[in-house]
């Protein structure tokens, strides 16, 4: 194993509270020179504010060590020369895009549109905006449709609210296209993350508190999936049909686990010889 991907919410922090021992585990990875990247599905705040939150909790990270769906989308768009892109994303994350952009109603003046990126914009959805997106998707050549995650709904203070997925499904259905999903558990998101740390899937460990979004998503993308018993972990997760490659009480136990694992690997490879 060479690289590590680490979920944030439920692994490093729980709400505003630090998971005990998390900063020491991250310091250990840094001292060992093990490449790691924080991977989160957050689209409500820019990377800059995630760095601030990590620092306030005693975890030193810079923006390049954090991958969010908007950052992954920006990288994918640049790597695939899909500009200009129309951004239908929360205002808070627009600063994470470096690609050339266009407004939805510029389409007749800017020529081809490379992609439409869609996140959860909540109350900002209107029928005219949805129809503008639909018309852009029906153009020839058609722009790529990029979804910042595929969360179906979330719980707000006033009750459940639609997230991004129902809108993406509507556009896919109407335009007969398929969105590229950049957010866990999509393999495309894990592919961007692996590219960032320069490690192969088989050599990389994903650490998360979500049995499906983190552990199964990683395993489906060819990585090893480690479950931590913090955050959203529930005892029932241990009886589920998804079997994590490792289970730790919390990320604080990572250095000991890693050292044991590497001793075992050395013993096994010596036995193979
Ligand atoms: Mg989590």
- Same domain assignment for residues 157 and 84: yes
CATH of the domain at 236: 3.40.50.1000
Residue 102 shares a structural domain with residue 170: yes
Residues 195 and 168 in one domain: no
215 inside domain: yes
What pTM did the predictor assign? 0.92
pLDDT value of residue 65: 97
Question: Within this chain, do residues 228 and 209 fall inside the same structural domain, yes or no?
Answer: yes
Tell whether 258 is covered by a domain.
yes
Residues 139, 233: one domain? Answer: no
Last residue of a domain, one of 181, 213, 243: 181
pLDDT at 272: 52
Rounded Cα–Cα distance for residues 12 and 59 (Å): 9
Could you read off the pLDDT of 64-80 as tens digits, one per residue?
999 999 999 999 999 99
Report pLDDT for 271.
57
The answer to whether residue 109 scores a pLDDT higher than 80 is no
Phi, psi for 137 (deg, rounded to 5): -65, -20
Distance, CA 116 to ligand 1 centroid (Å)? 27
Span from the CA of 9 to the centroid of ligand 1 (angstroms): 4
* End residue of a domain, out of 117, 146, 181: 181
Please check whether residue 54 lies inside any domain of the structure.
no
pLDDT in tens, 23-55: 999 999 999 999 999 999 999 899 999 999 999
| pLDDT beyond 80 at 267 | no
- Asked if residue 91 and residue 176 are part of one domain, the reply reads yes
Per the domain annotation, does 224 fall within a domain? yes
- For residue 87, count CB atoms less than 10 angstroms from its CB and return exposed for 0-12, middle for 13-18, buried for 19 or more: buried
Ligand 1 is an ion; residues with CB less than 5 A from it: 7, 9-10, 209
Residue 104's pLDDT band, with cuts at 50, 70 and 90, is: confident
Calculate how far, in angstroms, residue 38's C-alpha sits from the geometric centre of ligand 1. Answer: 11
Taking the centre of ligand 1 as the mean of its atom positions, its distance from the CA of residue 259, in whole angstroms, is 24
114-167 tens-digit pLDDT: 999 999 999 999 999 999 999 999 999 999 999 999 999 888 889 999 999 999
> How high is the pLDDT of residue 265?
73
210 C-alpha to center of ligand 1: Å? Answer: 6
Distances (CA, A) of 209 to 14, 55, 64: 11, 21, 23
Residue 52, in any domain of the structure: no
Write down which residue in 155, 181, 207 finishes a domain. Answer: 181
178-210 pLDDT, tens digit per residue, is 999 999 999 999 999 999 999 999 999 999 999
Q: Is the pLDDT of residue 258 over 70?
A: yes
DSSP state of 143: P
Q: What is the pLDDT of residue 269?
A: 61
> pLDDT confidence of 273, banded at 50, 70, 90?
very low
- Please tell me the distance from the alpha carbon of residue 5 to that of residue 36, in angstroms, as a whole number: 6
Ligand 1 centroid to residue 233 C-alpha, Å: 9
Same domain, yes or no, for 194 and 176?
Answer: no
| Contacts with 180 (C-beta within 8 Å, 6 or more apart), sequence order | 76, 144, 145, 146, 147, 188
The answer on 139 and 96 residing in a single domain is yes
What is the Cβ-side half-sphere exposure of residue 91, based on CA atoms within 13 angstroms? 2
How many angstroms is it from 18 CA to the middle of ligand 1?
A: 13
What the block records as the tokens of 109 is 């003046």
What distance in angstroms lies between residue 144's CA and the mean position of ligand 1's atoms?
A: 28
Centre of ligand 1 from the C-alpha of residue 40, in Å: 7
User: Are residues 177 and 227 located together in one domain of the fold?
Assistant: no
More confident residue, 109 or 240: 240
Going from the Cα of 228 to the center of ligand 1, the distance in angstroms, rounded, reads: 10
41 CA distance to ligand 1 middle (Å): 9
CA 155 to ligand 1 centroid distance, Å: 16
The secondary structure of the chain in percent helix, strand, coil, rounded to multiples of 5, reads 45, 20, 35
The pLDDT of residue 108 is 66
- Asked if residue 144 and residue 224 are part of one domain, the reply reads no
Q: Which residues contact 168 (CB under 8 A, 6 or more apart)?
A: 118, 145, 147, 150, 179, 181
Span from the CA of 213 to the centroid of ligand 1 (angstroms): 8
Among 107-111, 126-130, 215-219, name the one with the lowest average pLDDT. 107-111
Residue 66 lies in a domain: no
Structurally, how many domains does the chain consist of?
A: 2
Phi, psi of 2 (to 5 degrees): -120, -35
Same domain for 161 and 244: no
Q: Read off the pLDDT of each residue in 246-261 and give the average, rounded to a whole number.
A: 96
C-beta separation of 23 from 58 below 8 A: yes
Q: How many Å lie between the centroid of ligand 1 and the Cα of residue 195?
A: 21
Rounded-to-integer distance, Cα 193 and Cα 68, Å: 10
**Domain that residue 123 falls in:** 79-181
On whether residue 152 sits in a domain, the answer given is: yes
100 located within any domain: yes
Same domain, 34 and 92: no
Q: How far is the CA of 54 from the centre of ligand 1 (A)?
A: 15
């Amino acid at each position: 194993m060479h690289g590590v991907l680490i979920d944030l919410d439920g692994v490093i922090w729980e709400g505003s509270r630090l998971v005990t021992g998390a900063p020491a585990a991250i310091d250990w990875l840094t001292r060992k020179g093990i490449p790691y990247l924080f991977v989160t599905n957050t689209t409500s705040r820019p990377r800059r504010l995630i760095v601030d939150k990590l620092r306030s909790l005693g975890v030193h990270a810079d923006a390049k060590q954090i991958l969010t769906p908007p950052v992954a989308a920006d990288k994918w768009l640049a790597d695939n020369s899909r500009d200009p892109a129309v951004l239908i994303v929360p205002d808070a994350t627009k600063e994470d895009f470096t690609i050339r952009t266009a407004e939805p109603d510029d389409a007749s003046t800017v020529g081809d549109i490379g992609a439409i990126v869609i996140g959860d914009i909540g109350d900002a959805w209107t029928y005219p905006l949805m129809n503008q997106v639909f018309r852009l998707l029906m153009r020839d050549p058609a722009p790529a449709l990029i979804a910042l995650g595929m969360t179906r709904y979330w719980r707000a203070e006033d009750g459940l609210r639609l997230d991004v997925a129902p809108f993406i499904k509507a556009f896919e259905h109407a335009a007969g296209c398929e969105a590229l999903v950049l957010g866990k558990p999509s393999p495309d998101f894990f592919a961007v993350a692996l590219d960032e740390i320069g490690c192969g899937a088989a050599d990389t460990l994903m650490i998360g508190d979500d049995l499906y979004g983190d552990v199964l998503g990683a395993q489906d993308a060819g990585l090893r999936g480690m479950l931590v018993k913090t955050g959203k972990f529930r005892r029932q997760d241990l009886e589920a049909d998804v079997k994590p490659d490792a289970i730790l009480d919390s990320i604080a136990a990572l250095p000991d686990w890693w050292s044991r694992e590497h001793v075992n690997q050395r013993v096994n490879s010596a036995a193979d010889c």
